[in-house]
Copies of this chain bind each other. A is one copy, B any other.
Protein backbone atom coordinates (compact mmCIF):
# COMPACT_ATOMS: atom_id res chain seq x y z
CA UNK A 1 0.00 0.00 0.00
CA UNK A 2 1.53 3.28 -1.15
CA UNK A 3 0.89 6.21 1.16
CA UNK A 4 0.71 9.52 -0.68
CA UNK A 5 0.26 12.99 0.80
CA UNK A 6 -1.60 15.43 -1.47
CA UNK A 7 -0.99 19.11 -0.80
CA UNK A 8 -3.40 21.24 -2.80
CA UNK A 9 -5.44 24.29 -1.80
CA UNK A 10 -7.87 24.07 -4.69
CA UNK A 11 -10.54 21.96 -3.15
CA UNK A 12 -12.10 20.54 -6.29
CA UNK A 13 -8.75 19.44 -7.65
CA UNK A 14 -7.76 18.01 -4.30
CA UNK A 15 -10.84 15.83 -4.12
CA UNK A 16 -10.49 14.73 -7.72
CA UNK A 17 -6.89 13.70 -7.19
CA UNK A 18 -7.66 11.99 -3.93
CA UNK A 19 -10.51 9.97 -5.42
CA UNK A 20 -8.43 9.06 -8.43
CA UNK A 21 -5.51 7.84 -6.35
CA UNK A 22 -7.69 6.08 -3.81
CA UNK A 23 -9.42 4.21 -6.61
CA UNK A 24 -6.02 3.03 -7.79
CA UNK A 25 -5.13 1.61 -4.40
CA UNK A 26 -3.15 4.46 -2.91
CA UNK A 27 -3.65 5.45 0.70
CA UNK A 28 -4.27 9.18 0.57
CA UNK A 29 -3.67 11.92 3.14
CA UNK A 30 -4.93 15.40 2.27
CA UNK A 31 -3.57 18.80 3.26
CA UNK A 32 -4.83 22.19 2.09
CA UNK A 33 -2.16 24.41 3.60
CA UNK A 34 1.62 24.32 3.87
CA UNK A 35 1.69 24.10 7.65
CA UNK A 36 -0.72 21.19 7.64
CA UNK A 37 1.36 19.54 4.98
CA UNK A 38 4.48 19.79 7.09
CA UNK A 39 2.81 18.46 10.20
CA UNK A 40 1.20 15.63 8.25
CA UNK A 41 4.54 14.75 6.69
CA UNK A 42 6.19 14.76 10.10
CA UNK A 43 3.45 12.72 11.75
CA UNK A 44 3.29 9.81 9.30
CA UNK A 45 5.91 8.52 6.94
CA UNK A 46 4.68 8.76 3.36
CA UNK A 47 5.94 7.11 0.20
CA UNK A 48 5.20 10.13 -1.97
CA UNK A 49 4.23 13.79 -1.66
CA UNK A 50 2.19 15.45 -4.40
CA UNK A 51 2.71 19.16 -3.87
CA UNK A 52 1.03 22.22 -5.34
CA UNK A 53 3.34 25.21 -5.29
CA UNK A 54 0.59 27.80 -4.81
CA UNK A 55 -0.48 27.57 -1.21
CA UNK A 56 -2.29 30.13 0.92
CA UNK A 57 0.15 30.26 3.84
CA UNK A 58 3.63 28.99 3.03
CA UNK A 59 5.42 28.90 -0.26
CA UNK A 60 5.61 25.49 -1.83
CA UNK A 61 9.37 25.93 -1.79
CA UNK A 62 9.24 26.18 1.99
CA UNK A 63 7.40 22.88 2.11
CA UNK A 64 10.09 21.24 -0.01
CA UNK A 65 12.79 22.64 2.24
CA UNK A 66 10.93 21.63 5.39
CA UNK A 67 10.50 18.05 4.25
CA UNK A 68 13.99 17.69 2.82
CA UNK A 69 15.42 18.82 6.14
CA UNK A 70 14.81 15.37 7.54
CA UNK A 71 13.36 13.01 4.89
CA UNK A 72 14.00 11.82 1.35
CA UNK A 73 10.36 11.21 0.53
CA UNK A 74 9.81 11.68 -3.23
CA UNK A 75 8.14 15.01 -3.99
CA UNK A 76 6.28 15.59 -7.25
CA UNK A 77 5.38 19.23 -7.77
CA UNK A 78 2.21 20.22 -9.58
CA UNK A 79 2.02 23.89 -10.44
CA UNK A 80 0.33 26.38 -12.71
CA UNK A 81 3.59 28.26 -13.06
CA UNK A 82 5.22 27.23 -16.30
CA UNK A 83 8.36 29.38 -16.02
CA UNK A 84 11.63 27.52 -16.12
CA UNK A 85 12.96 29.44 -13.11
CA UNK A 86 10.26 27.95 -10.90
CA UNK A 87 11.02 24.50 -12.21
CA UNK A 88 14.74 24.90 -11.65
CA UNK A 89 14.21 26.24 -8.14
CA UNK A 90 11.86 23.45 -7.14
CA UNK A 91 14.02 20.71 -8.60
CA UNK A 92 17.20 22.07 -7.06
CA UNK A 93 15.54 22.35 -3.68
CA UNK A 94 14.97 18.61 -3.76
CA UNK A 95 11.78 18.04 -5.72
CA UNK A 96 11.82 14.90 -7.85
CA UNK A 97 9.56 16.00 -10.68
CA UNK A 98 7.62 19.03 -11.86
CA UNK A 99 4.35 18.83 -13.75
CA UNK A 100 2.58 21.91 -15.06
CA UNK A 101 -1.16 22.45 -15.00
CA UNK A 102 -3.20 21.50 -16.85
CA UNK A 103 -1.81 18.00 -16.81
CA UNK A 104 -2.81 14.73 -18.33
CA UNK A 105 -3.85 12.41 -15.55
CA UNK A 106 -2.26 9.36 -17.14
CA UNK A 107 1.05 11.14 -17.44
CA UNK A 108 0.86 12.33 -13.85
CA UNK A 109 0.13 8.83 -12.65
CA UNK A 110 3.05 7.48 -14.65
CA UNK A 111 5.34 10.10 -13.10
CA UNK A 112 4.08 9.19 -9.64
CA UNK A 113 4.76 5.52 -10.31
CA UNK A 114 8.25 6.38 -11.54
CA UNK A 115 8.97 8.48 -8.47
CA UNK A 116 7.80 5.76 -6.10
CA UNK A 117 9.64 3.04 -7.98
CA UNK A 118 12.91 4.97 -7.82
CA UNK A 119 12.60 5.53 -4.10
CA UNK A 120 11.88 1.90 -3.35
CA UNK A 121 14.82 0.66 -1.35
CA UNK A 122 16.18 -2.52 -2.86
CA UNK A 123 17.33 -3.80 0.50
CA UNK A 124 14.16 -4.06 2.52
CA UNK A 125 15.35 -5.11 5.92
CA UNK A 126 12.00 -5.24 7.59
CA UNK A 127 12.77 -7.66 10.37
CA UNK A 128 15.52 -6.88 12.82
CA UNK A 129 16.67 -8.73 15.87
CA UNK A 130 17.24 -6.59 18.94
CA UNK A 131 18.59 -8.95 21.52
CA UNK A 132 15.88 -11.46 22.25
CA UNK A 133 13.17 -9.33 20.63
CA UNK A 134 12.09 -9.39 17.00
CA UNK A 135 11.24 -6.05 15.43
CA UNK A 136 9.15 -6.09 12.26
CA UNK A 137 9.39 -2.61 10.77
CA UNK A 138 6.86 -3.34 8.06
CA UNK A 139 4.18 -4.72 10.29
CA UNK A 140 5.12 -2.38 13.12
CA UNK A 141 5.21 -5.18 15.65
CA UNK A 142 7.65 -6.22 18.33
CA UNK A 143 7.57 -9.71 19.73
CA UNK A 144 9.66 -10.98 22.57
CA UNK A 145 11.44 -14.33 22.67
CA UNK A 146 8.45 -16.29 23.93
CA UNK A 147 6.14 -14.75 21.33
CA UNK A 148 4.53 -12.11 23.52
CA UNK A 149 3.74 -8.83 21.81
CA UNK A 150 5.40 -5.63 23.00
CA UNK A 151 3.52 -2.38 22.70
CA UNK A 152 5.39 0.73 21.51
CA UNK A 153 4.07 4.27 21.42
CA UNK A 154 4.39 6.32 18.20
CA UNK A 155 7.34 8.28 19.51
CA UNK A 156 9.10 5.11 20.53
CA UNK A 157 8.54 3.71 17.04
CA UNK A 158 9.97 6.74 15.34
CA UNK A 159 13.01 6.61 17.54
CA UNK A 160 13.52 2.89 17.09
CA UNK A 161 13.15 3.16 13.32
CA UNK A 162 15.56 6.06 13.10
CA UNK A 163 18.18 3.99 14.88
CA UNK A 164 17.51 0.58 13.35
CA UNK A 165 17.47 1.85 9.75
CA UNK A 166 21.13 2.82 10.12
CA UNK A 167 22.65 -0.27 11.72
CA UNK A 168 25.97 0.42 13.35
CA UNK A 169 25.87 4.07 12.39
CA UNK A 170 26.06 6.80 14.95
CA UNK A 171 23.00 9.03 14.91
CA UNK A 172 23.45 12.39 16.51
CA UNK A 173 20.95 13.69 19.00
CA UNK A 174 19.92 16.54 16.76
CA UNK A 175 19.22 14.17 13.88
CA UNK A 176 17.04 12.04 16.11
CA UNK A 177 15.13 15.07 17.37
CA UNK A 178 14.47 16.36 13.87
CA UNK A 179 13.21 12.94 12.94
CA UNK A 180 10.95 12.68 15.95
CA UNK A 181 9.39 16.11 15.58
CA UNK A 182 9.10 18.06 12.37
CA UNK A 183 10.70 21.03 14.08
CA UNK A 184 14.43 20.91 13.59
CA UNK A 185 15.65 21.96 17.00
CA UNK A 186 14.94 24.14 19.97
CA UNK A 187 14.11 21.10 22.00
CA UNK A 188 15.57 19.84 25.18
CA UNK A 189 17.97 17.08 24.23
CA UNK A 190 17.31 15.51 27.61
CA UNK A 191 13.94 14.43 26.34
CA UNK A 192 15.56 11.87 24.08
CA UNK A 193 16.88 10.06 27.10
CA UNK A 194 13.43 9.20 28.35
CA UNK A 195 12.44 7.43 25.17
CA UNK A 196 15.76 5.68 24.81
CA UNK A 197 15.34 4.43 28.35
CA UNK A 198 11.82 3.23 27.62
CA UNK A 199 12.96 1.43 24.50
CA UNK A 200 15.73 -0.25 26.43
CA UNK A 201 13.31 -1.27 29.14
CA UNK A 202 11.08 -2.87 26.54
CA UNK A 203 13.69 -4.40 24.23
CA UNK A 204 16.95 -4.98 26.03
CA UNK A 205 17.43 -8.09 28.12
CA UNK A 206 19.35 -6.02 30.67
CA UNK A 207 18.07 -2.44 30.40
CA UNK A 208 20.73 -1.15 32.75
CA UNK A 209 23.45 -2.73 30.63
CA UNK A 210 22.34 -2.02 27.05
CA UNK A 211 23.93 -4.07 24.31
CA UNK A 212 22.07 -2.88 21.23
CA UNK A 213 20.80 0.63 21.91
CA UNK A 214 24.15 2.12 22.75
CA UNK A 215 24.84 5.67 23.80
CA UNK A 216 27.95 7.48 22.67
CA UNK A 217 28.53 10.15 25.31
CA UNK A 218 28.54 13.62 23.87
CA UNK A 219 27.68 12.44 20.39
CA UNK A 220 24.46 10.49 20.09
CA UNK A 221 23.12 6.95 19.96
CA UNK A 222 23.87 3.90 17.92
CA UNK A 223 22.04 0.66 17.13
CA UNK A 224 24.33 -2.31 17.37
CA UNK A 225 22.99 -5.47 15.71
Residues of A within 8 A of B (CB): 72, 84-85, 87-88, 91-92, 94-98, 104, 106-107, 109-111, 113-114, 117-119, 122-123, 138-141, 151, 153-154, 157, 166, 168-170, 216-219, 222
Contacts and interface: CB of A to CB of B under 8 A. Distances in A.
Contacts of A169: 123, 138-141
Interface residues of chain A: helix, strand, loop or mixed (majority): mixed
17 contacts: A84-B106, A88-B106, A88-B107, A88-B110, A91-B107, A91-B110, A91-B113, A92-B110, A92-B113, A97-B97, A118-B118, A123-B169, A140-B222, A151-B216, A153-B217, A154-B217, A157-B219
A48 to B, nearest CB: 13
A84 B104 contact: yes
Contacts of A96: 114, 118
A83 to B, nearest CB: 9
Given A88-B106, A94-B117, A140-B216, 19 more contacts: A84-B104, A84-B106, A84-B107, A87-B107, A91-B107, A91-B111, A91-B113, A91-B114, A96-B114, A97-B114, A98-B111, A118-B119, A139-B170, A140-B169, A141-B168, A151-B216, A154-B217, A154-B218, A154-B219
